[in-house]
Structure 1
Amino acid sequence: MTQRKTKVLNSLESLTYNDPIIDEDKNITVFVFDVGKKTWKFYDWSQITTVAAFGKYDPELMCHAHSQGSRIVLKGDVPLKDIVDPAFRASWVAEQLDLAKKQYMDGINIDIEQEVNDSSPEYDALTALVRETTEAFHSEIPGSQVTFDVAWSPKCVDRRCYNYSGIAEACDFLFVMSYDEQSQIWTQCVAAANAPYNQTLLGYEDYIRMGISPGKLVMGVPWYGYDYTCIDLLEDRVCTLPKVPFRGAPCSDAAGRQIPYGAIMKQVNGSISGSQWDEEQQAPYYNYRDPAGRFHQVWYDDPRSISAKAAYARDRGLRGIGMWNGNSLDYSGGPEAQKETEEMWQALKP
């Protein structure tokens, strides 16, 4: 293990930004989104390189992350209409930098996820915002990290037509959100995998063909699934959905609801089908019937589907892997829950 600060365990006031926090023995990036509460106490910290704190600020989490040689970074979001003004961008960057210093954070994860037309003023302004944020953080907080969240594909998913290659160059790396891949369903309105294997990998190949280095891409995987109420369940396999349009598409995963992996594990064994495996999409699913007699189909990712994608990330030379979100597992401590939780963490390193 390389030299790093440990004084943070004793006092927040003792922390200074002289050296990067990160433990360089962790040779691949494992990027964890945390949305609050205290489940972080049960994470596999031997793997984690960065925690993106998307919940309420928790100084105990910050201290623990640093003690484990892990970075902890802010969430950065801003209305895109405002960033066209260079003065607004400068003010926003200064505010984020000041907050990071006050909270002893090690960078920022910019999570915008708003529509951008490639001919609009916001197109260049967004790239400028990322570049200016990176320059400021790297200058003021040595060893800090600035990252940007992108959709599973660069092909204007959900009308996010960003300057992907420019943004990748402007920050440390992109976190690719390889989930919610049914947000726009242009074919049959049926339930399908949240992150089907071939479609997920195609997204990375598209980013790489744009000239973005694989080392600038971190694969995001879902630790949650979608529960769909079926209009019809045909031959226990095809679940037809009501049409819920989204950004031009006639159908979307908004017809379902998100459900965390921990809850899925509590439900699947009592379902009418048990866990089934779809060979084409390389993903599990199951069917159940609710008290009102309606059929549901749940699609999710498990250690098998995640391991396959993690193997691709390793073999293709991606920077690493991460998940939305670390809180989604069952950390209650029972033997079965503990086994399922450990398997999900282990799936990140095939």
Structure 2
Amino acid sequence: MDNKWYFDIAPGAIDDLKAHAKDITTLIPFWYGVKEDGTLADMSSTDVKKIASDNNLPIYAIIHNYSDPKKSQLIHDLLSTPHLRNTLIASIRDVAVVNNYPGINIDFEFVPPEDRSNLNTFLKDLYISLKALGKVVTISVPAELSDNPLHPFSGAFQYSFIAQNADQIYILAYDEHFSQPGPIASIGFVTNVLNYAVTVIPPQKIWLGMAVYGYDWTQGVNYPRTLTYEQAITLAKNLGVTIMYDETAQESTYTYVLDGKTHTVWFEDSKSFSAKLSLVDSYKLSGIAVWRLGQEDPAVWNILKAR
């Protein structure tokens, strides 16, 4: 199965890459942040480039807007100002050429919904520019259940237009729950996302974005903390708590009480991973894009190797 893995430097991530470089189809590292003037902040790693090169592992570098705390304002300015938009496209083209990356990945989040047409213009111009050089153009898009131009998080992303101006589309079908406890990506949620997506994007252009992490919500706190699979398992073990696999959501969960506050944990493991993989087959998608290397249940590699 075509499996692409997002990569960010974190404890254990490099070791995980070394161990599984030969099992990964494409590495998508979180390396290039957009700047106010349309240039890119280079956070690439020589070590990671060498590991990839030694293993003939292609790199599609991520271009993201996480380098600035004012993410939505920054991306609005870049997309809506023609000369900045053109500078950004030139910067992306240069980074792909100089580093000999076979492809790039656009990962813009917090794009204001009113910038839909500006994002479309950017993607179309970028696609034309990079295709002329034989580069693969990929984009990570938020999960959608319908085309809603007013949606505060996903409104800027018009699947039907993007499908014509990208080679590969990674649908981030996770974070179903964030401000309140619930599954990271229940099987029902992912199915609903794909039911819509395949009506406006050719299935062969879709890679299912999959999570391999968990969240721990504290009662009364709006946002959860992220847990790796290993942290989720260890925490339950240390607290003597039983992990339950929710058959409806097809995901693991448990609760515990600490300092008088109830915590709710949901996390992905090899069983939930396998359940979602079956959707890739049934919808005839091209593969998966996983966030992110180093957070996963080690058993997922056996599942991937068996396919």
The alignment's TM-score, normalised by the length of structure 1, stands at 0.73
Corresponding residue number in structure 1 for 2:252? 284
- Give the drift of 1:100: 2.3
Task: Pick closer, same or farther for the CA change 1:134–1:67 going to 2, 3 Å.
Answer: farther
1:47 to 23, 26, 33: 23
Read off the aligned partner of 2:26 and give its amino acid letter.
Answer: T
- Unaligned stretches of 5+ in structure 2? 32-42, 66-74
Corresponding residue number in structure 2 for 1:65? 52
> What is the distance in 2 between the residues matched to 1:54 and 1:327?
14
Query: 1:325 and 2:292 equivalent?
Result: yes
Identical aligned residues as a percent: 22
Deviations 1:310-350 (A, max 9, x none): 01112211110121110224xxxxxxxxxx51x12234465
Corresponding residue number in structure 2 for 1:169? 164
> What is the distance in 1 between the residues matched to 2:170 and 2:26?
12
SS at match of 1:71: coil
> What is the distance in 1 between the residues matched to 2:195 and 2:216?
29
1:149 to 134, 137, 140: 140
Corresponding residue number in structure 2 for 1:32? 5
Deviations 1:72-103 (A, max 9, x none): 12221351332123332221111112122233
Corresponding residue number in structure 2 for 1:114? 110
Any conservation in 1 of the 2:208–2:289 contact (CA below 8 Å)?
Answer: yes
Read off the aligned partner of 1:296 and give its amino acid letter.
Answer: H
- Give the drift of 1:178: 1.5
Read off the aligned partner of 1:85 and give its amino acid letter.
Answer: T
- Give the drift of 1:154: 4.6
Read off the aligned partner of 1:175 and give its amino acid letter.
Answer: Y
> What is the distance in 2 between the residues matched to 1:257 and 1:61?
27
SS at match of 2:182: coil
Bigger mean CA deviation after superposition, 35-44 or 297-306: 35-44
1:98 to 91, 94, 99: 94
Query: 1:295 and 2:262 equivalent?
Result: yes
2:191 to 188, 201, 208: 201
- Give the drift of 1:43: 4.2
Read off the aligned partner of 1:194 and give its amino acid letter.
Answer: I
> What is the distance in 2 between the residues matched to 1:304 and 1:90?
45
Read off the aligned partner of 1:313 and give its amino acid letter.
Answer: V
Query: 1:225 and 2:214 equivalent?
Result: yes
Kindly name which structure, 1 or 2, has the bigger radius of gyration based on alpha carbons: 1
- Give the drift of 1:158: 4.4
> What is the distance in 2 between the residues matched to 1:41 and 1:301?
20
Cα RMSD of the aligned pairs, angstroms, is 2.2
Aligned residues: 279
Any conservation in 1 of the 2:111–2:153 contact (CA below 8 Å)?
Answer: yes
SS at match of 1:273: coil
Corresponding residue number in structure 1 for 2:34? none
Query: 1:314 and 2:307 equivalent?
Result: no
Read off the aligned partner of 1:263 and give its amino acid letter.
Answer: Q
Task: Pick closer, same or farther for the CA change 1:146–1:39 going to 2, 3 Å.
Answer: farther
The alignment's TM-score, normalised by the length of structure 2, stands at 0.83
Corresponding residue number in structure 1 for 2:300? 344
> What is the distance in 1 between the residues matched to 2:213 and 2:165?
31
Corresponding residue number in structure 1 for 2:39? none
SS at match of 1:46: helix
